Amino acid sequence: MSPRHPKYPHLLPPDVRLWDAYLDQSNIDRHVITYDVRVGTPAETLPNWPAKYKAMSWDLTMRRIDAVLFLPHEIIVVEITHTAGFTALGQILSYPELYRRTYTPDLPVNPLLVTSRLLPDMAALLNFHHVPFHLVKPGT
Amino acid sequence: MPALSDIPEYLLDKTQIRPLLDWIREQPMPWYDKKHLLTVWARFTDYTLTADDYERAGAHRPE
């Protein structure tokens, strides 16, 4: 693995290329990024489950934020998707609040959508909800 | 972030708070991942964290 890029094992290959391209174009310090941040409520488990299995269930059923940036004055929750439609819109509207509820951070939590394609109406809806987005064309 | 199942099984119990804090402190991960992991562990074990717990685990933003 290249030391330049931290691992992001749960991104789909097109999203990996997109994210790498975004990082190459930005001046974000890779050391302030973490991936697969779990938020929200896990699925219920049975009281008699061993702790190990219960932990695995929590790992699998909590929602996972693609990336979180820890900047000096804010925390940015990032949704990374090569094609942004209503699923991405719902995630990027929901995840900042789930992050706040899960971790009670001491800084503002703001959203960011990184994508290479917006489906119809998405730009208008993202603007309406004040969600910033970056359109990135990854190299081939 | 590291997963809850990355924590040794014997530490998945709220009576193990002190060894858990020491274990997290020793892990080669940034402070924010220590905070994430500690917070999820506390929910998992139904333990109420204190500021001292975050401090001991190294799970706080550097000054």
Average pLDDT of the residues of chain A: 92
First and final C-alpha spacing in chain B: 22
Tell me if B17 is assigned to some domain.
yes
Tell me if B49 is assigned to some domain.
yes
- Structural domain boundaries enclosing A92: 21-135
Instruction: Report the distance separating Cα A14 and Cα A123, nearest Å.
Output: 21
Is A51 in contact with B9 (Cβ distance < 8 A)?
A: yes
pLDDT digits (tens, 9 = 90+) for A84-136: 999 999 999 999 999 999 999 999 999 999 999 999 999 999 999 999 999 99
pLDDT digits (tens, 9 = 90+) for A41-79: 999 999 999 999 999 999 999 999 999 999 999 999 999
Of A36, A37, A55, the CB nearest to B5: A55
Is B7 in contact with A37 (Cβ distance < 8 A)?
A: no
Chain B CB contacts of A38 below 8 Å: 1, 3-4, 36, 40
Compute CA distances A125 → A18, A77, A84, A119, whole Å.
22, 18, 11, 11
Of A37, A56, A102, the CB nearest to B5: A56
- Structural domain boundaries enclosing B11: 4-57
Of A37, A58, A106, the CB nearest to B4: A58
A89 interfaces chain B, CB cutoff of 8 Å? no
Tell me if B48 is assigned to some domain.
yes
Tell me if B51 is assigned to some domain.
yes
Residue type, B51: A
Tell me if B43 is assigned to some domain.
yes
Tell me if B25 is assigned to some domain.
yes
Instruction: Report the distance separating Cα A90 and Cα A92, nearest Å.
Output: 6
A15: three-class secondary structure by DSSP? helix
CATH number of the domain to which A38 belongs: 3.40.1350
Closest residue in A to B14 (Cα–Cα): A51
Tell me if B50 is assigned to some domain.
yes
Cβ neighbours for A54, distance < 8 A, ≥ 6 positions apart:
A45, B12, B44
